[in-house]
Amino acid sequence: MDARQLLKALSEAAGVSGFEQELEPLLREAFEPLVDEVRTDVLGSFIARKDGSGPPPRPSVMLAAHLDEIGMMVTKIDEQGFLRLTRVGGMDKRILPGMEVMVHGRRPLAGIIGTKPPHLLEPGESAKALKIEDLFVDVGLDRERAQEAIAIGDLVTFHRPYIELANGLVSGKSLDDRCGVVAMYICLEWLKRLQVQADVYAVATAQEEIGGKGAIVSTYDIVPDVGIAIDVGHGDSPGVPEDHTSPLDKGPALAIGPNIHPKIHELLQKAAKDAGVPVSTEVVPGNSGTDAWNMQVSRSGVPTGLVSIPLRYMHTSVETLSFSDLERAGKLLAFFIATVDRSFVEGLTWS
């Protein structure tokens, strides 16, 4: 399959934080031909390892893009067969009324997050956002039949097809951060054509949205010399200050700030030039909110970098990005990895 097909398949599949194993067959199919070994760890992160060609001890680079999506979970089935929900991960609850969803019970069931018709609203009611406790899912079943098919703790995901918009933009659910996973795939394809000394671990991390847990344990296990997170950054859109966003289709953004090792940022900038990839700079004055935050403080410390793919409408079901930015990110990562050698790694220790 190619990168576009992979992105569409990943976007439309269900893999809520903590339940990412659903995606494993798809990832195996995509990554196995490109690497030496694939495995899944205890928390559900998918790890694809490709050995480098340098003499041992080889430097190691870990890429991290998170696999999980935000979603919801059933907390109750009421007397009429409607379902009550809680959130898994930080979703904007204002997107929920009128949303089509998939309930992952004994079998997948279509559902609708129902709403009061406008005719019956009190004055001023529509100016207030609904609380999660007020929302319900209609699966079209009565209580008895709902209980046969659905249990408390079952997951509910957005049901939204992946679509292509104008100018190479694409839109779908879970592009945060499945686009990062596809960027790693594109990177590995490029690595086939480049001379690479370092061992590469492409990790599709689990449970990032609920505390970065996949990155914590996989980094502890791998002990990489360099860690690069590939996540989404806020794309430009009306009403958001410019210095908090990056424009779409102008290349990935390279983060700078305490979460990022300055020399890694420098080498990423250089790799961008060599690869002919346009990039912008993203100022991150503290917690980057990505796997880079947890990777950086693993064991005795891991020097980290962060490549962000600009994305609009984060944590909704209509996340939108430029497919070219994705391709650029993948190529950039490959050129970066190709320049990582022992002396670069040694130079990352401050005196």
Q: Which residues bind another protein (CB under 8 A)?
A: 17-19, 21, 41-43, 73-76, 84, 86, 88, 133, 151-153, 207, 210-211, 213, 216-218, 220-221, 241-243, 256-262, 281, 283, 285-287, 296-297, 299-303, 348-351
Shortest reach from residue 4's CB to another protein, in Å = 31
Nearer residue to another protein within complex by CB, 18 or 251: 18
What does the block give as tokens for 122? 């009190």
**Cα 155 → chain centroid:** 18
Q: Are strands 46-50 and 37-40 parallel, antiparallel or unpaired?
A: antiparallel
Q: Give CA–CA dist 67/21, Å, rounded.
A: 10
Shortest reach from residue 190's CB to another protein, in Å = 26
What letter would DSSP give residue 207?
S
**Cα 260 → chain centroid:** 19
Q: Are strands 226-234 and 304-311 parallel, antiparallel or unpaired?
A: parallel
Q: Give CA–CA dist 26/20, Å, rounded.
A: 11
Nearer residue to another protein within complex by CB, 168 or 280: 280
Shortest reach from residue 35's CB to another protein, in Å = 20
Residue among 12, 20, 69, 208 flagged as catalytic: 208
Nearer residue to another protein within complex by CB, 51 or 221: 221
Establish whether the linkage from the previous residue to 177 is cis, with ω within 30° of 0: yes
Shortest reach from residue 175's CB to another protein, in Å = 22
Residues in the chain: 351
Nearer residue to another protein within complex by CB, 110 or 152: 152
Residue 245, amino acid:
T
100 tagged catalytic: no
Q: Which residues are catalytic?
A: 208
